[in-house]
Amino acid sequence: MRRLRSTDYRRMPWKNGGGTTTEIAIEPKEAGLAGERFLWRVSIADVASDGPFSRFEGYDRHIMLLEGAGMTLDAGAHGRFTLAPLVPQTFSGDWDVTGTLTAGAVRDFNLMVDRARASSTLEVVHIEQPMQLSVANEETCIAHILEGRLSEADASDTLILDSEAVLTPIGSTRLAIGRITRM
């Protein structure tokens, strides 16, 4: 289990230059948005105005609203969907997507995965008792603390797990759980 704190995260401009993101983790670590293709990437984006999303050809994207009144994503022929707090949505990084803010800036959580090399899911769980987190062979599990704390980590920390673990909440704790399964 690897624990990342907010001081480990990297703040950077979006690929399209339209805003900023905080990169929580990327695999492999030396991959970058302009260089080597990454297998997966987890980040939190701050969206201050309406505009296009960066394209990530060949990637599946999971997104969910963390803060703010909301945002509608228009994916043209692929449809429109509105982000609701802590409800993951999935779309293709190949699509041209434009975000329209409902009422002011938002912050969203993102998981991107190279679909040729892996599949992925994103969910939110609320725990008040220890939770056994199973991690299969060829799987990486990312647990980002949205609210509360664990005995293993504090609020806003992220745990990267490649093997089974027990997560022990201190009080009520809400987690974003991303699972990446390598092909």
Task: Single out the residue in 93, 114, 135 at which a domain terminates.
Answer: 114
134 and 105 share one domain = no
Say what the pLDDT of residue 117 is. 98
Q: Are residues 75 and 129 in the same domain?
A: no
CA atoms within a 13 Å half-sphere pointing along the CA-CB vector of 114 = 14
Instruction: State how far the Cα of 40 lies from the Cα of 17, in Å rounded to an integer.
Output: 20
3-state secondary structure labels for all residues of the chain: CEEECHHHCEEEECCCCCCEEEEEEEECCCCCCCCCCCCEEEEEEEECCCEECCCCCCEEEEEEEEECCCEEEECHHHCEEEECECCCEEEECCCCCEEEECCCCEEEEEEEEECCCEEEEEEEEEECCCEEECCCCCEEEEEEEEEEEECCCCCCCEEEECCCEEECEEEEEEEEEEEEEEC
Place 53 in a pLDDT band, splitting at 50, 70 and 90: very high
Any idea how long the chain is?
183
The pLDDT of residue 160: 98
168 and 100 within one domain? no
Please check the confidence at residue 100 and state whether its pLDDT lies above 80. Answer: yes
CB 86 within 8 A of CB 145: no
Q: Do residue 82 and residue 155 come from a single domain? A: no
Q: Of 104, 97, 69, which Cα lies nearest the Cα of 84?
A: 69
Neighbours of 173 (CB within 10 A): 22
Residue 93 maps to which CATH number? Answer: 2.60.120.10
Same-domain status, 145 and 109: no
Please tell me the predicted confidence (pLDDT) of residue 90.
97
* CATH code (residue 173): 2.60.120.1030
Q: Is 40 in the same domain as 102?
A: yes
| Same domain (yes/no): 65, 147 | no
Number of domains forming the structure of the chain: 2
126 and 141 inside one domain: yes
pLDDT tens digits for 103-160? Answer: 999 999 999 999 999 999 999 999 999 999 999 999 999 999 999 999 999 999 999 9
Mean pLDDT, residues 78-82 taken together: 96
Q: What is the pLDDT of residues 6-41, one digit of tens each?
A: 999 999 988 877 778 999 999 998 887 666 899 999
The residues pairing with 10 across neighbouring beta strands, listed in sequence order, are: 23
Note whether 141 and 86 are same-domain residues: no
User: pLDDT value at position 68?
Assistant: 96
Q: Please say which residue of 66, 89, 114 terminates a domain.
A: 114
| pLDDT for 89 beyond 90 | yes
Q: Which domain holds residue 89?
A: 2-114
pTM listed for this prediction: 0.94
Distance linking the first and last C-alpha atoms of the chain: 21
Domain boundary among 88, 114, 140: 114
Bridge partners, 92 (sequence order): 60
